Amino acid sequence: MFHASSSTHAAKSADEDALALYIHWPFCIAKCPYCDFNSHVRDQIDHDAWRTALLLDLRHEYKVNGNKQISSVFFGGGTPSLMDPRLVAKLVEEADILWGLTDHCEITLEANPSSVEANRFADLSHAGVNRVSLGLQSLDDETLKFLGRAHDVAEGLSALDTAQQNFDRVSFDLIYARPGQSLRDWQSELEKSLGFGTDHLSLYQLTIEPGTRFETLVRTGKLVPADDDHCADMFELTQELTQAVGLPAYEISNHARQGQESRHNLTYWRYEDYVGVGPGAHGRRLNSATERHKKPENFLSAVQRNGNGLKFEQSLSPEVRATEALMMGLRLAEGVNLTALEKKTNLVTDQMIDLHQVEKLTALGLLEPSADRLMVTARGMPLLDAILPKVIADSLRT
């Protein structure tokens, strides 16, 4: 197995000024009707071309920001479990050669629970992956058909078992608040899921995203989403059941035992630096935003022309960085460290947040401010989308 540390970088401390690395694999077998991610269906994939392109894109980012170690690697998609494990191994190895991986570097790969992909889990583990995020999505066969998933419940649970045999850490996703799903149905499904022994769960309410097939069905009256009150009841039940078994929400949709949080995603939510390579990948590093070309063919052409897949790179003002940090950080149960944000942006707190609104929302029990931190309470989390625009100071939006 590839080890996530390198003697060539031993002089660097384990997590000092570390980066997160995101690698996007854009291909899927089919497009799910709820999905608005950058995913594409192709009959043929030239794996040699993709190996060359992703390595070049990776090396470009190292040239720009090569003075830190990598503390986490995340293969997202698309369906990264369709990647050749040898390519996964090469990309992890190259990241270690370039930056160096910290001790106990978290290396996550998103996977679909089909038997074909589960058969690759042992090879992916040997390639360096030590955490897998499995897209179960539901424990009901009819719902899986509705969601456009290629697996059934039996295949999904078999893949979960295989994943737990091959990886140190396993998480899986479920989608709830589906049309016609009762509170009792969700309670039964969630209670069963909590018995599978994983230390991390991602539990998402079904949202109707623009440009998806579900959005078309809603617009034409062929699909009726769950109403807001029902969704709120389901959210409250989710918090109660997960908290009771030691899997509290550390982020609005993510639950984990203490110490088992996704370290990679915490980097995003805490607004720390991360590098994004591959089609459509976003990055935040050196006070700049980066975005790669989304369409696979356009990404490959850009790499051939320029040695990287960048669509644009843009410096971010302190105001934009503060806004993004607040929008991301208030999703976390730990909230936003305002003292740290002041240092990152050179703005003072009352330039970033509306203190009058914070006082009003605190009186309503929706916010919990302290000397250096601002948190959304458990009561406020279901109202997060309404709270955010009130909390962020008008001066950041001008």
Q: How many CB atoms lie within 10 A of CB 241?
A: 18
- Residue 373 to residue 261: CA distance in whole angstroms: 20
- Bond prior to 307 in cis (omega within 30° of 0): no
Q: What is the pTM of this model?
A: 0.92
SS3 letters across 301-344: HHHHHHCCCEEEEEECCHHHHHHHHHHHHCCECCCEEHHHHHHH
Please report, in angstroms and rounded to a whole number, the separation of the first and last CA atoms in the chain.
52
* Interacting residues of 204 by C-beta distance below 8 A, sequence separation 6+: 173, 174, 175, 176, 253
Extract the tokens encoding 235.
Answer: 């959210």
Q: Are 309 and 278 contacting, i.e. CB atoms less than 8 angstroms apart?
A: yes
Q: Are 226 and 197 contacting, i.e. CB atoms less than 8 angstroms apart?
A: no
Rg of the chain's alpha carbons, rounded to an integer?
A: 21
* Interacting residues of 191 by C-beta distance below 8 A, sequence separation 6+: 241
Q: Which residue has the tokens 């950080």?
A: 329
- Residue 294 to residue 111: CA distance in whole angstroms: 20
Q: Tell me the sheet residues that pair with 169.
A: 131
Eight-state DSSP code of residue 387: H
Extract the tokens encoding 291.
Answer: 């975005």
The tally of CA atoms less than 13 A away on the side-chain side of residue 296 is 18
pLDDT per residue, tens digit, the chain (398 aa), is 333 333 333 333 335 578 999 999 999 888 888 787 778 888 888 999 999 999 999 999 999 998 899 999 999 998 999 999 999 999 999 999 999 999 999 999 999 998 778 889 999 999 999 999 999 999 999 999 999 998 999 999 999 999 999 999 999 999 999 999 999 999 999 999 999 999 999 999 999 889 898 899 989 999 999 999 999 999 999 999 999 999 999 999 999 999 999 999 999 999 999 999 999 999 999 999 999 999 999 999 999 999 999 999 999 999 999 999 999 999 999 999 999 999 999 999 989 999 999 999 999 999 999 889 999 999 999 999 999 999 999 877 76
Q: Would you state the torsion angle of the CA atoms of residues 255, 256, 262, 263, taken in this order, to the nearest 10 degrees?
A: 130
Extract the tokens encoding 155.
Answer: 């295949």
Extract the tokens encoding 221.
Answer: 């009256």
- Domains contained in the chain, CATH given: 7-269 (3.20.20.70), 318-397 (1.10.10.920)
Extract the tokens encoding 225.
Answer: 């989403």
